[in-house]
Amino acid sequence: MSTGTSTATGIRWRPDPAVAGATNAARLMRRAGAGDAAGLRARALDPEWLWPAIVDDLGLVFAEPWDAVLENAQDPAHARWFTGARLNLAASCVDRWAAAAPDRDAVVWEDELGRERSVTYAELRRLTDGVARALTGLGVVEGTSVGLFLPLVPETVATLMACAKLGAIAVPIFSGFAADAVATRLVDGDVRVLVTADGTSRGGRIVPMKETADRAVQDAPGVEHVLLLSHVGTAQVQPGGRDVAWERVVTLDGPAVEPLALAPDHPLLLIYTSGSTGKPKGAVLTHAGMLVTIARDAAYHADVRSGGTLCWVTDIGWIMGAWSIVAAGSLGATLCLCEGAATTPDPDRLWRLVARRGVDVLGVSPSLVRGLMVAGSEPPPGGLPGLRTLGTTGEPMNDEAWSWLLERVGGGRAPIINISGGTEVGGALLAPLPIEPLASCSLGGPALGMDVAVVDEAGEPVGPDDVGELVCRRPWPGMTHSLWRDEERFLDTYWRRWPGVWVHGDWATYDADGQWFVRGRSDDTLNVAGQRIGPSEVEGALIDTGLVTEAAAIGVPHDLKGEVIWCVAIPAVPGADLDLDALGSAVATRVGKPFRPARIVLVDALPRTRSGKILRRVVRACVLGTDPGDLSSLEDPAAIDVIRKALR
Q: Where are the domains of the chain?
A: 3-87+264-520, 92-249, 525-647
> CATH assignment of 525-647?
3.30.300.30
pLDDT of residue 274: 67
Strand 396-397 and strand 3-4: the pairing is parallel
Domains 3-87+264-520 and 92-249 equal at CATH topology level? yes
Query: Residues 297-335, buried b or exposed e (16+ Cβ, 10 A)?
Result: bbbbbbbbbbebbbbbbbbbbbbbbbbbbbbbbbbbbbb
* Contact by Cβ (8 Å): 529, 624: no
CA-wise closest residue to 214 among 231, 191, 192, 194: 194
Q: What is the pLDDT of residue 429?
A: 97
Q: Residue 619 contacts by C-beta under 8 Å, 6 or more apart in sequence?
A: 552, 554, 568, 606, 607, 643
Rounded (to 5) percent helix, strand, coil in the chain: 35, 25, 40
251 exposed, middle or buried (CB, 10 Å; 0-12, 13-18, 19+)? middle
Mean pLDDT value across residues 214-241: 92
**Euclidean distance between CA atoms 184 and 149, whole angstroms:** 13
- pLDDT tens-digit map of 457-515: 899 999 999 889 999 999 999 999 999 999 999 999 999 999 999 999 888 999 999 99
Mean pLDDT of 527-538: 68
Cα 284 to Cα 66, 247, 516: the distances in Å are: 21, 31, 28
What DSSP letter does each residue of 231-295 carry, written as one string? Answer: SSS---PPTTTTEEEHHHH--SSS---PPP-B-TT-EEEEEEE--SSSSPEEEEEEHHHHHHHHH
Nearest to 643 by CA among 608, 611, 598, 604: 604
What's the whole-number mean pLDDT along residues 564-593?
89
Residue 290 has pLDDT above 70, yes or no: yes
Higher pLDDT, 532 or 181: 181
Could you tell me the pTM of the whole model? Answer: 0.86
What is the percent of the chain where pLDDT is above 70? 96
Domain 92-249 coded CATH 3.30.300.20: no
CATH number, span 3-87+264-520: 3.40.50.12780
Phi-psi region of 84 (alpha: psi -120 to 50; beta: other; left: phi over 0): left
pLDDT, mean of residues 375-399: 91
pLDDT above 60 for 2? no
Q: Mind listing the pLDDT tens digit for each residue in 162-176? A: 999 999 999 999 888
**Confidence class for position 541, pLDDT limits 50, 70, 90:** confident
